[in-house]
Amino acid sequence: MQILLQRLPAQVKHNYKVMQSQRSKFSIPRGVTYLNCAYMSPLLRSVEKAGIKGMICKRNPLDISASDFFETTELLRNEFSSLVHANNPQRIVLISSVSYGLANVTRNVKVRYGDKIIVASEQFPSNYYPWHKLCLETKAELHVVRAPESLVSRGKVWNERLLNAIDQRTKVVALGNVHWADGTLYELEKIRLRTREVGALLVIDGTQSVGALPFDIQKIQPDALVCGGYKWLMGPYSLGLAYYGEYFDKGTPVEENWINRLHSEDFAALVNYQAEYQPGALRYEVGEHSNFILVPMLLEALKQINRWDPARIQTYCAGISHRSIELLRERGYWVEEEKYRGHHLFGIRFPKGTNLELVRERIKKQKISVSFRGDSMRISPNVYNEEKDFERLLSALF
Ligand SMILES: Cc1ncc(COP(=O)(O)O)c(C=O)c1O
């Protein structure tokens, strides 16, 4: 590792020390090289413990009081607010999935014939189908901004295409912060400025970035941010978080659950049916969101991520991958330039003539986990990885 470090640029070399490998906090089996957090994160031991504790609590429901339906979710709201720099935790709600969070968005977005909704090509289905359906219903146009065919300045050109596509007809731009399949980084601040100029909403699926890439709600000012919890937030499956801005304050949620009605804290008065929802964004929370097992797990995970800090996670991932990316490029592989990709998620494209079947076989045999998307391979490291994981990957490729 020392030899490899000597060839790192000074700044990265220094930053490489921002944190040690955190592998001991996880239970990743020995001999496994897990470079696939974009698929699903492994569980932190502390998160496992929180889940088991939550399960045991249900042995005796006498110990579960009315306030327990609200208190841990408040903590989770606060923790996520710190992570994304939201100044009002009451704008954060618990959701069951990204598709759920986006269903609340598309239910309340006002578009009509002639309007335009912009997405990027090959966007994750949960952030495509809701828009597709909305366009079918309203006859608005779904405008898909294609990725460039050429690999020269691919990320830069894709961003330019996105900016150029936004015009007076545009009512919504719905994107990830990074593309889920290859990590292309979208310049959200510029996109936000342009959407403001034309009065369009900006809706972000943060599932493949928030937790490992800094996200600042106050800077980006999205109208909605929706995140699945089981990847970079390191939580369990089936629980995610969403932020809804002012545009949605008086909207209608996709379900009519009791806890989202005003004064639902007063269990004795629940059948004094309420016409009003909880104020603002809180109306969009998923039914049974107090989940006594999953909520403490996600809370524990977010506390740890906040202690690590996404900026340090990026720097750590840059440090452990830098040298290997250099070597890949020397051997004719293509990796997006740093400015236009995440350090935690990026795709590599193979030199012409590579036998992909053989590569897949070798990778599997050596217990390396990455994902394949079309003709590229998606690599997504996190804090439990080390430089030697990349060395193993390279030895399977070369
Ligand atoms: C960008 C992105 N959004 C959302 C999801 C998951 O969506 P859902 O929670 O609707 O299953 C994934 C899963 O891979 C994803 O990569």
For residue 389, give both structure tokens. 């994981």
Answer yes or no: are the C-beta atoms of 241 and 95 closer than 8 Å: yes
CA of 265 relative to ligand 1 center, distance in Å: 32
**Below-50 pLDDT ranges, the chain:** 1-8, 10, 13-14
Backbone φ and ψ of 334, nearest 5°: -110, 130
CATH 3.40.640.10 matches 51-307: yes
Position in ligand 1 atom list of the atom nearest CA 208: 1
What letter would DSSP give residue 269?
G
Pairing of strands 240-244, 92-95: antiparallel
pLDDT in tens, 229-284: 999 999 999 999 999 999 999 999 999 999 999 999 899 889 999 999 999 999 99
Domain boundaries, the chain: 2-43+309-397, 51-307
Q: How far apart are CA 79 and CA 85, in angstroms?
A: 10
* Strand-by-strand arrangement of the 376-379 sheet: 334-335, 346-349, 376-379, 371-373
Q: Which residues line ligand 1 (CB under 6 A)?
A: 97-99, 124, 126-127, 176, 180, 205, 207-208, 228
For residue 17, the model assigns a pLDDT of 73
Pick the CATH number of 2-43+309-397 from 3.30.200.20, 3.30.460.10, 3.40.50.11540, 3.90.1150.10: 3.90.1150.10
Q: Which uninterrupted H or E stretch holds 192?
A: helix 188-198
Determine the angle formed by the axes of helices 294-308 and 68-84, rounding to 10 degrees. Answer: 30
CA of 98 to the centre of ligand 1 (A): 6
Q: Which H or E run includes 228?
A: strand 224-228
- Helical (H) or strand (E) element with 87: none
Say if CB 225 and CB 243 are below 8 A apart: yes
| Distance between start and end Cα atoms, the chain | 19
- pTM of the full predicted structure? 0.95
Rounded Cα distance, 235 and 42, in Å:
9
Distance CA 219, CA 377 (A): 32
Decide if 2-43+309-397 and 51-307 have a common fold. Answer: no
**DSSP state string for 354-376:** --HHHHHHHHHHTTEE-EEETTE
What one-letter code names the amino acid at 206? G
60 burial type by CB count under 10 A (0-12 exposed, 13-18 middle, 19+ buried): exposed
Q: Tell me, what's the pLDDT at 15?
A: 60
Q: What pLDDT does 2 receive?
A: 37
Q: Which residues contact 157 (CB under 8 A, 6 or more apart)?
A: 148, 150
Three-state DSSP at 280 gives helix
User: How far, in Å, is the centroid of ligand 1 from the Cα of 34?
Assistant: 19
Residues 159 and 75: their CA atoms lie apart, in Å, by 36
pLDDT at residue 12, as a whole number: 52
Ligand 1 midpoint to CA 6 (Å): 38
The pLDDT of residue 6? 43
* CA 208 to centroid of ligand 1, rounded, Å: 8
What is the per-residue pLDDT for 373?
Answer: 82
> What pLDDT was estimated at residue 9?
52
Question: Distance (Å, rounded) from C-alpha 145 to C-alpha 207?
Answer: 20
- With the most atoms of ligand 1 within 8 angstroms of its CB, the residue from 94, 98, 99, 225 to mutate is 98
